[in-house]
A and B are shown apart, each in its own frame.
Chain A
């Protein structure tokens, strides 16, 4: 079990800047995030889209903002646990014991939830019977593509993941591609490629169609798709893949005894602590009168939460307010040599 001063849940901009603020006041922390990369919503939802309201940064993209924050916290050598989700949080003798889904354990006086709107999970098909086939013959992500060799695979979606897999799997499988409208949002190159493959008879494309029902004993044997004009069509298929992007779910956080209001966690505005001593919530996931879901608000909340952590991590010390411009201690922590 690793002992740390604070554990941050969520590697989005708010979590990253909070790590910086903890580092400046001499507290160590580690960061857990369910995504496979650092950056949260900025990197998952809008890496290339511009942001215009970061103070003193007239314009930057989600990716640039993330890169700059990673650069800013480099001096603190923070450990990231990506692709990992915090499952269990319990209190033992004034310390929080935190367990992840990969069985890592932390002991810490402070947990900072910077989880955005929860963890990203794949959006699922709507027909109820789909659940029964999940991870047997119906998938939302692919781990071993060889299982599809020589089989019929029906892929749903119109974005990059759907088209990239349609192209890739068409080498060794019979591929159907189903999308709810005529336009695809994937890169033009991929769109051209699937149209070419369609002409060659390698991929069948069904647009303006959505999944209506699934049939099969243990594994999927056939599906029915429904056209915009309400007509139904049955397709024989061994596998079904859905690529509808990601949705945010609060996940296990709801079981930690926090006051939750409409998927957000209630905090005070003095140090963004929740109703549980030593658990803080910052960024989009917290709520208080006047809350704005802006990145700049998350930065402010992180700075105050970091100071809130100090009294639990260093109960015998007093925290003195300092500026980075003049504080020797802060500059040492930042590794600045003069």
Chain B
């Protein structure tokens, strides 16, 4: 279990307990956190679960697989700290992770 903080583009933040094994995307979708669309359902086939990871967390995350960077090319305003939240799988180590949701997904 990890506490994940989701920050909306206008600054409002919500902290959610997400079980190990789920993704940061699923944590958002199952708890009705707006702004993470996840059109493809977590298959790394779209870029609509795009989030910005807080800098101090970015390097602690497992590295991206090849396809993720390719999909991020298609995300709305990708930055250096962009990730697809469907690819961030919760473990105890991610307790405290903070992600910001972009102003839109596409």
Where the two chains meet, the residues of A that have a C-beta atom closer than 8 Å to any C-beta of B are: 41, 45-46, 117, 123, 126, 157-159, 179-181, 183, 185, 210, 228, 244-245, 247-249, 262-263, 284, 293
**Total A-B pairs, Cβ < 8 A:** 47
When the two chains form their complex, are residues A247 and B41 in contact, meaning their CB atoms are under 8 A apart? no
When the two chains form their complex, are residues B39 and A248 in contact, meaning their CB atoms are under 8 A apart? yes
Q: Say whether B77 faces chain A, with CB atoms less than 8 Å apart.
A: yes
Q: Say whether B74 faces chain A, with CB atoms less than 8 Å apart.
A: yes
Chain B contacts of A157 at CB under 8 A? Answer: 73
Chain B residues 13 to 72 lying within 8 A of chain A, measured CB to CB, are 29, 37, 39-41, 45-46, 48, 69-70
Q: Say whether B106 faces chain A, with CB atoms less than 8 Å apart.
A: yes
Interchain CA distance A159-B71 in the complex, whole Å: 10
- Can you give 23 contacting A-B residue pairs, CB < 8 Å? A45-B46, A46-B45, A117-B39, A117-B40, A123-B106, A126-B77, A157-B73, A159-B73, A180-B73, A181-B69, A183-B69, A185-B73, A210-B78, A245-B74, A247-B39, A247-B46, A247-B48, A248-B39, A249-B106, A262-B29, A263-B39, A284-B41, A293-B40
When the two chains form their complex, are residues B69 and A263 in contact, meaning their CB atoms are under 8 A apart? no
Closest CB in chain B relative to A69 CB, distance in Å: 19
Q: Which residue of A lies closest to B79 (CB)?
A: A228
Interchain CA distance A123-B41 in the complex, whole Å: 19
Q: What is the total number of residues of chain B having a CB less than 8 Å from a CB of chain A?
A: 17
Interchain CA distance A210-B78 in the complex, whole Å: 9
Chain B contacts of A228 at CB under 8 A? Answer: 80
Q: Could you tell me the dominant secondary structure of chain A's interface residues? A: loop
Interchain CA distance A181-B41 in the complex, whole Å: 26
When the two chains form their complex, are residues B45 and A45 in contact, meaning their CB atoms are under 8 A apart? yes
Most buried by B among A46, A117, A179, A284: A117
Closest CB in chain B relative to A151 CB, distance in Å: 26
When the two chains form their complex, are residues B73 and A247 in contact, meaning their CB atoms are under 8 A apart? no
Most buried by A among B29, B41, B74: B74
Interchain CA distance A117-B46 in the complex, whole Å: 11
* Contact pick for B106, options A183, A210, A247, A284, CB 8 Å: A247
Interchain CA distance A106-B77 in the complex, whole Å: 41
Chain B contacts of A117 at CB under 8 A? Answer: 39-40, 46
Interchain CA distance A284-B77 in the complex, whole Å: 26
Chain A contacts of B106 at CB under 8 A? Answer: 123, 247, 249
4 new A-B contacts at CB < 8 Å, known A41-B45, A179-B73: A123-B76, A158-B73, A181-B69, A185-B70
Closest CB in chain A relative to B44 CB, distance in Å: 10
Q: Which residue of A lies closest to B37 (CB)?
A: A263
* Contact pick for B74, options A123, A179, A262, A293, CB 8 Å: A123
